[in-house]
Amino acid sequence: MPPRPAPAETRADTAGSAGATDAPPDVAALHRTLLDWYGATARDLPWRAPSATPWGVLVSEIMLQQTPVVRVEGPWRAWLERWPTPADLAAAPTAEVLRAWGRLGYPRRALRLQQCAAAIVDRHDGVVPADESALLALPGIGSYTAAAVAAFAHGRRAVVLDTNVRRVLGRLTRGEALPRPHLTRGENAAAAALLPTDAATSARWNVAVMELGALVCTARAPRCEECPVRASCAWLAAGRPADEHADRRRTQAWNGTDRQVRGRVMAALRAADGALTREELVVAAGCGDEQALRCLASLVDDGLIGPVGEQDGSYALGG
């Protein structure tokens, strides 16, 4: 199934044609190899279907921030069926938006997505902008998402650098096992230099590199023997050296954290389709009173929950 974006693979980068890319022959060959692989291997994800709207693409990108593809598909379909346009989401009750977000995690994304929808209605007449800087100015949209929406929803030429692309390019061109915790200017320049000149081809290149990172050039157990560009890979050529900055990575603790407690409170409120008393929420929090109350306060502060009634004794989803 030919995934979006890319009506037809642009062949302008084949030798001799006037055109789409002035890349040296080896880079042009790399482009063609990976683009062909993508055409043959890409997953049939719903937000890549020709019928997907720019709004659908934007929603997918927000949902996919730190959440794996397999967990997003279901919620994404339900979301777009319920709120097919930015105006629909902007008009929805925030409690319903948070409930529909379900267990995708980081529920502030749901809040910001609704704010984003409202901003699109206000500033752009309800139309998802194509300009990267206009996208960047919207709530919940950072550098990655702005580039991704410009490229995948509108076919613009943009440097899309997510964790997959950073890992693939780091291995391919610099021979590094894993990217650093923070994006560097060098990575941005390297990615920009490799980006095909033609807009439609560049958009397809971006998603192809991402797909390679998701399916083959994975963080854990890369399947180099299946990699279409293994012959050009600096990391493989160097014998797949281990990550140089492994000692700097430390995974955040989970048990007993405010994040866990906040998650339990949100889960309880999603399940209850109304308000719950403070006492019920403290029980749901599953921790000491002090931490439970602190978390309730922070959730109120974030606009994820709000007091109900005059007594301030119970809370519901939404501000």
Q: Which residues are catalytic?
A: 61
Shortest Å distance, C-beta 26 to DNA: 26
Shortest Å distance, C-beta 177 to DNA: 9
In the numeric block, the tokens 């482009």 are attached to: 31
Provide the edge-to-edge strand list for the sheet that holds 276-277.
Answer: 276-277, 314-317, 305-308
User: Is residue 185 close enough to count as binding DNA by CB under 7 A?
Assistant: no
Contacts of 144-151 spanning 24+ positions with Cβ under 8 A = 144/65, 145/58, 145/61, 145/62, 145/65, 147/206, 148/57, 148/61, 148/206, 149/54, 149/57, 149/58, 149/61, 151/5, 151/202, 151/203, 151/206, 151/207
Shortest Å distance, C-beta 14 to DNA: 27
The alpha carbons of the chain give a radius of gyration, in whole angstroms, of: 22
User: Is residue 21 close enough to count as binding DNA by CB under 7 A?
Assistant: no
Bridge-based pairing of strands 305-308 and 314-317 is antiparallel
Sole binder of DNA in the list 18, 133, 254, 310 (CB under 7 A): 254
Tokens of residue 208, six digits: 């192809």
Spacing of C-alpha 225 from chain mean position: 28
Interface map 100-119 toward DNA (x if CB under 7 A): ---xxxxxx---x-------
User: Is residue 260 close enough to count as binding DNA by CB under 7 A?
Assistant: yes
Nearer to DNA, 28 or 208 (CB): 208
Query: Distance between CA atoms of 108 and 89, rounded to whole angstroms?
Result: 15
Sole binder of DNA in the list 139, 303, 306, 307 (CB under 7 A): 139
Shortest Å distance, C-beta 66 to DNA: 4
User: Is residue 142 close enough to count as binding DNA by CB under 7 A?
Assistant: yes
Give the binding range for DNA (CB under 7 A) out of 91-99, 126-134, 206-214, 279-287: 206-214
Q: Counting Cβ atoms within 10 Å, is residue 257 exposed (0-12), middle (13-18) or buried (19+)?
A: middle
Phi, psi of 315 (to 5 degrees): -135, 155
Interface map 57-96 toward DNA (x if CB under 7 A): ---xx--xxxxxxxx-------------------------
Nearer to DNA, 116 or 236 (CB): 116
User: Is residue 187 close enough to count as binding DNA by CB under 7 A?
Assistant: no
User: Is residue 267 close enough to count as binding DNA by CB under 7 A?
Assistant: yes
Contacting positions for DNA (CB under 7 A) = 45, 47-48, 60-61, 64-71, 103-108, 112, 139-146, 148, 162-164, 167, 178, 182, 207, 210-211, 213-214, 218-221, 243, 249-252, 254, 257-260, 262-264, 266-267, 298
